[in-house]
Structures are given as C-alpha cells and as structure tokens.
Structure 1
Amino acid sequence: MANQTQVSEFILLGLSEQPRQQQALLGLACSLYLIGCLGNLLTILAIISDPRLHSPMYFFLSNLSLLDVCFTSTTVPKMLLNHVCGLTTISSSACLVQMYFFIAFGAADSILLSAMAYDRYLAICRPLHYMTAMSMLRCAQLVAVTWVMASFISLVHTILMTRLSFYASRIPHFFCDINALIKLSCSDTQVNEMMMLVLGGSGVLVPFVCIMASYTPIAVAVWKVPSARGKWKAFSTCGSHLCVVSLFYGTIIGVYFNPASTHTTSRDMAATVMYTMVTPMLNPFIYSLRSRDLRSALRRLLSQSHLAKPL
C-alpha cells in the first residue's frame, strides 16, 4: 500500500462507451435538464407570486422544486461541459465535492418527501388540527431538519471516502457515484459499505417507511368516505405525491439496495438517469396536472410575463 500511487484525477466514461449512442444520450440529458430546470423554476415563481398558494403543501413543493434543480445541477452541467470541451477528467477534490452535494441533495429530497407525506396525513386524517400542527414555523423547522440531516449523511460519506486509496481512475459513470468509487478502491471498504447501509437506511429507507406509515391511515380515511366523488377529491390531494414517491424510491432502491449480483452497468445507468434527470423533470408536470390552483397560478405567471415583455 505504501508504494501505491494516489489517483489525483478520475476519468468519467459518460453515459455510454459507444460514441454515437453517447451523442444521442447527451442530447437527451441536455433536454431533460433544461426542461426540468425551467419547469421547477416556474413552479417556484408561481408559488411565490400567488398568495393563494402560500400554504404548507405548496411551501414543501417549492422546496422540493428547488432541491430538484440543485440535484440535477450537481451532475448534468459537468457532464455537458466535459463533452463540449472534449474532456473526460475530474480532479479527485472536485469528485468528492460533486459526490457530497449529490448525496446531500438526494437525501434531502428523500427526507422532504416524507415530510410532505406527514403534511398530507394531517390534512386528511386530522383536518381540525391541521393549521395548528402545520404552522409556517413548523414547516420551516421541518425543512431545516431536512437540510441538516442530509448534510450530515453526506459529510460522513465524504469523510470516509477521503480515507480510501484507488488503484484505477476510470469511473464507468457520468458522475462521481459513491458505489462506483468504492469499487475502484484498493483499500478496505467495509466501513464505507456498512455506513452506506446505515446512513442509506436513515436517508432513504426510514423516510420511505414513514411515507408508507402516513399513507396507511390516509387510505383507511379515504375508504370511509361515502361518495365516490368525495373519495376522488380526498385522494387527488395526495395522488401527485404518490406518483413522485414511486418514481424516486423505485429507481433508488433498484440501484443501491439490491444484491450486487443483480447489477449490470446498463441497468444501473438507466435507473440512475431516471432518478437524477427524468424524475426531477417530471415532478412539476405531475403536480401542475393534478393541482388546479397551481395550473391557474402558472397561467397567470406566464400571461403576466407575456404582457410585460413589450415593456
């Protein structure tokens, strides 16, 4: 180990090793990134500009949209910049920084989704206590706890990664993924792998269990509603959140919580693209399609910007 040369930079192999396929996938990634950023930023602006959307549910949604923009911005711009400049390398320090923010924003996304599920539980199952339990101060506290927990999880992973030495520099991915880096290490990675399970459980599985625990009484409450119209109205308030949860957790669990023997490079890459690009791009469309108030706010925002353009 004393004679090992510490790797000072890594080579990111990108979305594919085939040049033509790489070009097509890069174009797709650029489109998904731009559409996702535009959709999420418009959602944030619509919520801020419309006083009728100043409620806990839309407060959480605006934070989720901000997280989605940050989450995709940790990986896609670097990948596109490398392609434009003809580079494939990233320094070891930049790689650790990218990994830190990727894990932090991803964990914050996961924890925030559980806070949104709790909000829906209170709105449907405890409507008389909702405004008291979900005051704006309480909402701000939940968001602050989300950021602190996610930063802690990411910091632990990053510190543990600095202990490792690497025998190879070619990362078969388009960003510095923690799984890919661990596989390249020539050091003992047992602590890293154990903390992936422990912190991964606290950042992904625990929020997922909390979401399921929140939706169980919601499902019971909706089932007890006598009219079909009433059931649909009650369910529609959380249908968007369920769609987002299914997309986000389904792909993450498929990548990080399956046996290593079931993993293939193409399968992991497809799942990673889903939760890093496709899901953040779809989130604003899912919510706007199912929320009449948000659709109205977006229309007013776009009409105002159109009228203000000649000025």
Structure 2
Amino acid sequence: MGDRGTNNHSEGTDIILVGFRVCPELHIFLFLLFLIVYAMILLGNIGMIAIITNDPRLNTPMYFFLGNLSFIDLFYSSVIAPKAMINFWSESKSISFAGCVTQVFLFALFIVAEGFVLAVMAYDHLITICNPLLYSVQMSAHLCSQLVAGSYFCGCISSVLYQHDLHFILFASRTIDHFYCDDHPLQKISCSGLYIHKMVSFVLCSIIVLPTIIVIIVSYMYILSTVLKIHSTEGRKKAFSTCSSHLGVVSVLYGAVFFMYFTPDRFPELSKVSSLCYTLVTPMWNPLIYTLRNKDVKEVLKKILRKILFFDYSFSSTNYIVAFHLGCLWPLIKSYSHG
C-alpha cells in the first residue's frame, strides 16, 4: 500500500480515512452526534438483549430473533463508530492496513448475518399470519437455533472469501474517501485489475444476499394474499401491525445499501450519508421500532421500572443496571409509541 504498484501487505503501512469533507469546526459537532447515536445504540440494544433473555414471557421465536438482531446491530455499529469518532479528533485520521481488513471482515460478517436474520424474521411473520395453528410446530426451538446459526455461518463465509480476495488487490493511494473501510471506496483507489474481485462480489451477492431479498419478497407476497382474505378490519390491522416495523427496517437497510453502491462517483458525500443509515441509524432505531413498540416488552419494562421506584430488594444488580439504561430512554420510547 502506498505507491503505485507496491504490495499492500507491507507491515506498518497506514490508510487515511478522509471522513466527511467539512470545516474543522464541525468535527466537534460530528463527534457529539456520533457519540449520542452510539450511546443510544448501546443502551437500546444491550437493554433489549437483557430484557429478552431474562424474562420467561419473552421466550418465543420472535423475541429470540429480535435478541439476535440487537446483538448484530450492537456489534457491527461498534466496528464503525468508535474509530470514526477517534478520527474526528485525530490529525492523521489513519487506520492500519490490518485494522482496515479487520473492519471490512467484521462489518461484512455482521451485515450479511443481519440480512439473513431479517429474512428469517420475514419467514417467521409468514408462519404467524398464514399458518398460526401450526406455528409452534413449524417454528420449533431447534429450527430457530439452526436458522440463526446458519445466518452467522453465511456471514463468516462471505467475510472470509471477501477478505481473502482483498489481499490480492493493489492500491494506487493510501487515502480512502470515506469514514470507514468498505468495498466501494476501496475499489476506487485500486490500481490492479478488479475483474476477479468483482466476480467474487457478484457470486457472493448471487448466492448469499439475493436469496435473502427473495425470501423477504416472497414471504410478504403470501402475507399480503392472506391478509386480503381476512374479513375483520381488526384482524387486518393486527396483521399489518405485526409486519410494518420489519418492512420499515428492511426498506431502510436495503435502500441505503443500494443507494450507496449506485450513487455516481462524483457525489461521494451522498454515499457517506446513505451509509450512515445502515451503519448507525438503523441499529439505533431497531430497538425502538421493533421491540419498544411491542406491548409485551413495554409491559416488562414498566414492571422493571416499578420495582426500581418501589425499591424491590429482591431485584438483582444486573436488572437494576438494565432498568437504569432503559429508564434513560423511556421518554423517547413513550413519545415514539404515541407518535
């Protein structure tokens, strides 16, 4: 990495992350904005994982998938946000090549896993609405575990293949016009042929990403067909309520990804803004629009907060910490659920 034609495996070579092209005075504002968003990601997702795993009433497939979604959101946002915040204060704004490859590997792992978990959740909604009487049989605990494990496995496979291919690319520049290491900005600074790399990316999309989109689309086609046959207005409303949050997050995630990769190169700042949607905004909002608008979870949260207010000494210290975190978000939760 460095001069044209040099090997990018050289030890100690750093890559420069340009970040957002704004005046230095706005770096403090961006740092605070990232800090607030990241803090909400931590509070919301850690809180949701703790609530779902500690309350027996939430021991169902839907909440199992939601807990894994929160876990994925927590980790892939943590791959991006801390380094971006550090670079707002740093003069060099550098990251080592090993750090860049690690960032690409972990982000690819978790973002692919999220795509599969979202597809699994679409299938879960399909069984819930179209075949509710056999739901407990078709969505057994063993099958749910296999589906989630398969999601992580596919994420690992895609990351390993992509990272292996990345080591054979030579770069003409050490400067990436982005705030984290990603495939699209790395391709822009490549000075070697990208045919094999693009073929690998195409194959990965064809056999890993595309099936998740197909599963989601087909699932909702069946769901829509079933809902239209429901004569009760209340039944239709409940069915649409079950799916609306999932559809919203799927639309934001895939819409932002497609927008970033199809944005013309002459508008790099637009691609950075769109990438913010799926790296930070989506993980921040998922606990709200998926979990905190759910009646069962809100009841559990209210119960925890009541125990805190009335000093229930049987309450564990772990639950106190969780309740404190979620209590900080309660005004936002309340306003959002009534919005």
Q: Report the Cα distance in structure 1 between the residues aligned to 2:156 and 2:20, rounded to whole angstroms.
A: 27
- Deviations along 1:254-304, one digit per CA (max 9) or x if unpaired, are 122x2x647621110110001100011000110235310011122223444
Point out where structure 2 has 5 or more consecutive residues left out of the alignment: 322-339
Identity of aligned residues (%): 36
Q: Report the Cα distance in structure 2 between the residues aligned to 1:304 and 1:108, rounded to whole angstroms.
A: 36
Q: Residue 4 of structure 1 corresponds to which residue in structure 2?
A: 5
Q: Residue 298 of structure 2 corresponds to which residue in structure 1?
A: 295
Do the aligned residues in 2 keep the contact of 1:75 with 1:98 (CA within 8 Å)? yes
205, 208, 212: which one pairs with 2:213?
208
Q: Report the Cα distance in structure 2 between the residues aligned to 1:12 and 1:3, rounded to whole angstroms.
A: 18
Relative to structure 2, which stretch is displaced further, 134-143 or 4-13? 4-13
117, 121, 131: which one pairs with 1:112?
117
Are residue 270 (structure 1) and residue 273 (structure 2) matched? yes
Do the aligned residues in 2 keep the contact of 1:14 with 1:22 (CA within 8 Å)? no
For residue 82 of structure 1, report the CA deviation from its aligned partner.
Answer: 3.3
AA at the equivalent of 1:103? A
What pairs with 1:48-63 in structure 2 (closer than 5 Å)? 48-63=53-68
Do the aligned residues in 1 keep the contact of 2:28 with 2:88 (CA within 8 Å)? no
Give the paired residue count: 309
Are residue 89 (structure 1) and residue 94 (structure 2) matched? yes
For residue 221 of structure 1, report the CA deviation from its aligned partner.
Answer: 0.9
For residue 250 of structure 1, report the CA deviation from its aligned partner.
Answer: 1.0
Residue 231 of structure 2: SS of its match in structure 1?
Answer: coil
Summarize the Cα distance change of 1:303–1:73 in structure 2 as closer, same or farther, 3 Å threshold.
farther
Residue 16 of structure 2: SS of its match in structure 1?
Answer: strand
Q: Residue 171 of structure 1 corresponds to which residue in structure 2?
A: 176
147, 150, 157: which one pairs with 2:152?
147
Q: Report the Cα distance in structure 1 between the residues aligned to 2:252 and 2:208, rounded to whole angstroms.
A: 16
Summarize the Cα distance change of 1:197–1:26 in structure 2 as closer, same or farther, 3 Å threshold.
farther
Q: Residue 14 of structure 1 corresponds to which residue in structure 2?
A: 19
Residue 173 of structure 2: SS of its match in structure 1?
Answer: coil
Summarize the Cα distance change of 1:168–1:85 in structure 2 as closer, same or farther, 3 Å threshold.
closer
For residue 151 of structure 1, report the CA deviation from its aligned partner.
Answer: 0.7
Q: Report the Cα distance in structure 2 between the residues aligned to 1:238 and 1:182, rounded to whole angstroms.
A: 37
Summarize the Cα distance change of 1:273–1:209 in structure 2 as closer, same or farther, 3 Å threshold.
same
Q: Report the Cα distance in structure 1 between the residues aligned to 2:305 and 2:47, rounded to whole angstroms.
A: 9
- Deviations along 1:176-209, one digit per CA (max 9) or x if unpaired, are 1111112111111111122222213434332112
Are residue 43 (structure 1) and residue 44 (structure 2) matched? no
Are residue 284 (structure 1) and residue 274 (structure 2) matched? no
Q: Residue 125 of structure 1 corresponds to which residue in structure 2?
A: 130
Q: Report the Cα distance in structure 1 between the residues aligned to 2:308 and 2:208, rounded to whole angstroms.
A: 39
For residue 85 of structure 1, report the CA deviation from its aligned partner.
Answer: 5.1
Residue 287 of structure 2: SS of its match in structure 1?
Answer: helix
Q: Report the Cα distance in structure 1 between the residues aligned to 2:219 and 2:145, rounded to whole angstroms.
A: 20
Summarize the Cα distance change of 1:268–1:224 in structure 2 as closer, same or farther, 3 Å threshold.
same
AA at the equivalent of 1:5? T
Q: Residue 102 of structure 1 corresponds to which residue in structure 2?
A: 107
Q: Report the Cα distance in structure 2 between the residues aligned to 1:93 and 1:28, rounded to whole angstroms.
A: 28
Q: Report the Cα distance in structure 2 between the residues aligned to 1:205 and 1:179, rounded to whole angstroms.
A: 18
Q: Report the Cα distance in structure 2 between the residues aligned to 1:296 and 1:74, rounded to whole angstroms.
A: 32
- Deviations along 1:201-232, one digit per CA (max 9) or x if unpaired, are 43433211210100111111111111111111
Do the aligned residues in 2 keep the contact of 1:112 with 1:143 (CA within 8 Å)? yes
Do the aligned residues in 2 keep the contact of 1:71 with 1:105 (CA within 8 Å)? yes
Q: Report the Cα distance in structure 1 between the residues aligned to 2:19 and 2:151, rounded to whole angstroms.
A: 31
Are residue 185 (structure 1) and residue 190 (structure 2) matched? yes
Relative to structure 2, which stretch is displaced further, 60-69 or 243-252? 243-252
**TM-score in terms of structure 2 length:** 0.85
RMSD over equivalenced CA pairs, Å: 2.2
Summarize the Cα distance change of 1:82–1:270 in structure 2 as closer, same or farther, 3 Å threshold.
closer
Q: Residue 239 of structure 2 corresponds to which residue in structure 1?
A: 234
Summarize the Cα distance change of 1:267–1:85 in structure 2 as closer, same or farther, 3 Å threshold.
closer
Residue 25 of structure 2: SS of its match in structure 1?
Answer: helix
Residue 74 of structure 1: SS of its match in structure 2?
Answer: helix
Are residue 26 (structure 1) and residue 31 (structure 2) matched? yes
- Deviations along 1:148-194, one digit per CA (max 9) or x if unpaired, are 11110111111000011111001111111111112111111111122
Point out where structure 1 has 5 or more consecutive residues left out of the alignment: none
